[in-house]
A and B are shown apart, each in its own frame.
Chain A
Amino acid sequence: MKKNLLFEIGTEELPPSCVREGVSGLKRILGNKLTENRLEFEDIQAYCSPRRLVAVVERLGELQKSKIKVVTGPSLNVAFDKEGNSTRAAEGFARSLNIKVSDLDEIEIKGRGLHLGKRIIEKGGKAVDILPDILKGTILNLTFSKQMTWANYDIKFARPIRWILALYGNEIIKFSIANLNSGNITFGHRTLHPEPIAIKDIGSYFKLLEDKGKVIANDVKRKELILNQIGKLEEKVWKGNYRVVLNENLLNDVVNLVEVPNTIVGNFPAEFLYIPKELLVEAIQHHQKYFAVLDKSGDVSTKFLIVQNGIRDNDEIKKGNEKVLKARLSDAAFFYEEDRKHDFDYWVDKLKGVIFFSNLGSVYDKTLRLKKVSVYFAGLQKGSRLHGKDDISTNLAAASMLCKCDLVTNMVVEFPALQGVVGCQYAREKGEKSEVSKAIFEHYLPRFATDIIPSTDVGLILSITDKIDTITGMFLAGKMPSGSEDPFALRRKASGIVLSVLKGKYDFDLTDLINYNQQLYKESFDFKGINDLKISTGIKDFIIARYRFLLEKKGKRLDILESILGSGCCSILDIDLRYNAVEEFIGSEDIKKILFPMIRCKNIIDKKEFEEVDEELLKEEYEKRLFSSVNKKEKAIKDLICKKDYASVLAELYKFGEIVDLFFDKVLVMDKDKKVRSNRVSLIKKAVDLYLMLADFSRLTVEGGGSV
């Protein structure tokens, strides 16, 4: 017989982030524990609300699956004498299992031959006997990023646990934890139905909770409800004239702030509409978790949405919330007005008092570095599409000085999510160039994995150099990420660098930029026992590792990347161009025609010393042909690499392969004459170098085993 299991952990109000952590942890941990304990089930689902984490296991078996236990005794030589009679050893072993020698099996033990033994089928225990430990263990193993203890108990959870419901079929799974005994009792809405509700059968749980308890325990359903309520407002009530700003993070929080959502519309006084749009929207969302509403032209309207917890018909709730939002907006307006009394000089000066990181100076110091590094970066772009755009450096210098200023504005102190947004807005208001104000916003991008990338050169370069500066500083301070620990989100920053470099198509040697940045740090601060080279290599590898990670996420071949890194290339853009060329070549041509000749060459030159090739010593036709080909190709490939025409480089190397193969087929490298021999090896070395200008193809994995 298979029955369903219902497990509900009732708590005091969990923060939304804990609800999410809890529900995913519950599903994973309970599922694992059931499997480990050989209890079969068809499906496991987890649900949540601020006051409950719920798991429903469908068709959970009543018995553990049986397990075969193998017991082994003496080896056959010991167990039987020459005549084949069982010895004392065999009989003793059989007795210990309470069976006859004739009932024993022959069991092979790896490497030690056949032994007497027995395969014993251990029948599984009953689910009802094991479930108490499994459920209790699940609670104890659930962890949250912020945990607490309460009263005198030893257990930790995100907020105090107040009841536990555990039903298997109609039977209560009894266990206790802290001061609580599990039962079949749940509780409804905190104020609308605080009384206990007994669950007699699992099938009625969700319905009883909803009808009687005024609670929707299914978070997906609550989200749908909110979206439906909003949809109805937009279409039926507002007839398409207003639109709700649906911030996904806010929506997910609101879903887990209420046990039953009920959306109502409030209004605030129009006097606040002069506050810039993005600032106003954040002021509406931030503290009170309201939704802002835009009118047809995309401007903020005086409407806002309140999602109350429970269905009540009471106008006072709307009035109360309106009063609170009015006060919040008065605050925001006050901060905005205060900020408008100041200028950027005032804020730049204030940055001197803001610590960037201990022992790495102030944010003002960072600003000065950023100015130098970004102008230096622009200088590295000579000959690119930025060439001749003289105002790039001017704009970068200006944006560098201004981009951190909003950190000390009242607005950002009050609404931290607005960093960048406020700076951009204020720069516009103060008449800064649009390139500069836009870069102030863009330099923080990307803020999370799926965020947008800057769209302007000034924004892209400032974003790259700001992140390089932070990473360099953190490496110098010994705060590089290790394992899963990355408290300063340096990996995300490095990924941002890669994405911005590729978007802006900036070709530069990473180590140049890192070294320059590192020098600037060392001019101002004392770092004892720091190895410059180790730091710069460490940072370069760290950033390239993020490029590798991005390839991996797209399911791309990493051996291609390894082969390109074998060329010593340190420009992300260049690495990427080479990658695409090689990848495309592999898609259409036979890479083995490049790979195998190169491997043949590499195998010869392994660990040998080289000299200049002496043309006089070249006797045979095919070595002369190889020599002249190497010389011609060297020049041609150099030119092509300058133009970054890697497809043509590959075509050249492809043709070159035939000459290499002919050489190996016709010429014996290991000549008796030592001079001739070593001259040939030096020639082959030149051939290898030709390949290495693009990539170390020998690192490619191909069918038929190309790797050396």
Chain B
Amino acid sequence: MNFQDIIFNLQKYWSDNGCIIKQPMDLEKGAGTFNPDTFLRCLGSEPWNVAYVEPSRRPADGRYGENPFRTQFFYQFQVLLKPSPDNAVELYLGSLKRLGINLKLHDIRFVEDDWQSPTIGAVGLGWEIWVDGMEITQFTYFQQMGSLLLKPVSVEITYGLERIAMYLQGKDNFWDLKWSDNITYGELHLESEKQWSVYNFEVASVSMLLDLFKKYENEFERVMGRGLIFVGCEYVLKCSHIFNLLDAREAIGVAERTSYITRVRNLAKKLCSAYLKKREELKYPLLKKG
């Protein structure tokens, strides 16, 4: 199954199962979780079922394209179901079947993996899911976001698209994956992976990044003062990405690192509280549809 067909199949499957299919957000982020369709929409009582592809960036994970499957850029397929349905695991297994995995012939395992993201104050319990030993999905029941307790609880299902493709196509690395019948993942991404690795580790201007972090932090406060929550959200994401870049440049000491994380987390907390308040003011418009 080609890389793009995996996406088509997952989109169709989750659409058949009641999700709206959204498109990626036009901003750098470390994971699909940071997209406001998860980050913010998991808050509050309104039902929300969504699936989307999310290009993700983790500057420190770059390996100049030399590691078979560790890269600073990759794709996630993200599903968020709120409230978590009682058959969430069965639904997920159904999606594997849709991808052509015979569940009776393969060893599907749920291995404890309690997930947290200190920068956005998120905590969840769940598993990494293995097929014949290969981790292909993170399955998480969110417990906290923006340091706020969640009720109802959402379940987040994050497929590592490249890993699933490696598994399905029997390939040993990302670059040989078939994106479509006549073009490979490597042809599309290898050169940019190399360039970004050079930038992330060697070229990115630390002074500019430190400066931007401060400016974005200030801008966040300014727009939040005007109640512009979705705008504020983007500045939290920008701060988070800049922090990741600084981390890749090894520009932040250990003690400072903690304080940067705390700064971003405080922004996230403020943002989430403001979002909840706004939804209340709007009288939870999505509740009616639930």
Interface of A toward B, CB cutoff 8 Å: 12-13, 15-16, 50, 146, 148-152, 159-160, 162, 179, 190-192, 194, 257, 288-289, 306, 308-310, 312, 314, 316-317, 319-321, 323-325, 327, 330, 334, 353-355
Contact = CB atoms under 8 A, between A and B. Distances in A.
Given A15-B112, A316-B106, A355-B254, A149 B153 contact: yes
A364 to B, nearest CB: 11
Nearest to A310: B107
B110 interface: yes
Given A162-B86, A190-B108, A314-B105, 10 more contacts: A12-B110, A149-B141, A160-B86, A191-B104, A194-B90, A323-B172, A324-B134, A325-B133, A353-B255, A355-B254
A317 B107 contact: yes
B151 to A, nearest CB: 7
B151 A149 contact: yes
Interface string B135-166: 00000010100000001110100000000000
A159 B84 CA distance: 12
A352 B168 CA distance: 46
A346 to B, nearest CB: 13
Contacts of A355: 254-255
A56 B134 CA distance: 37
Contacts of A12: 89, 110
Contacts of A334: 67
A312 B141 contact: no
Contacts of B105: 312, 314, 316
Contact of A320 (B84, B86, B90, B131): B131
Contacts of B67: 334
B225 interface: no
B127 A149 contact: no
Nearest to B254: A353
A151 B83 contact: yes
A12 B112 CA distance: 11
30 contacts: A12-B89, A12-B110, A13-B127, A148-B125, A148-B143, A148-B153, A150-B84, A150-B141, A150-B153, A151-B83, A160-B86, A179-B86, A190-B110, A191-B103, A191-B108, A194-B90, A309-B108, A310-B107, A312-B105, A316-B105, A316-B132, A320-B131, A320-B132, A323-B134, A323-B172, A324-B132, A324-B134, A325-B133, A353-B253, A353-B255
A650 B157 CA distance: 74
B133 A288 contact: yes
B285 interface: no
A288 B134 CA distance: 9
> Closest 5 CB pairs between A and B?
A320-B132, A15-B112, A13-B110, A321-B133, A324-B133
Contacts of B133: 288, 306, 320-321, 323-325
Nearest to B255: A355
A152 B106 contact: no
A214 to B, nearest CB: 10
Interface in B89-137: 89-90, 93, 103-112, 114, 125, 127, 131-134
A212 to B, nearest CB: 15
Contact of A312 (B84, B107, B254): B107
A150 B125 CA distance: 10
A194 B93 CA distance: 11
Nearest to A179: B86
B104 A192 contact: yes
A149 B143 contact: yes
Nearest to A363: B254
B37 to A, nearest CB: 20
Contacts of A151: 83-86, 152-153
B73 interface: no
Contacts of B68: 327, 330
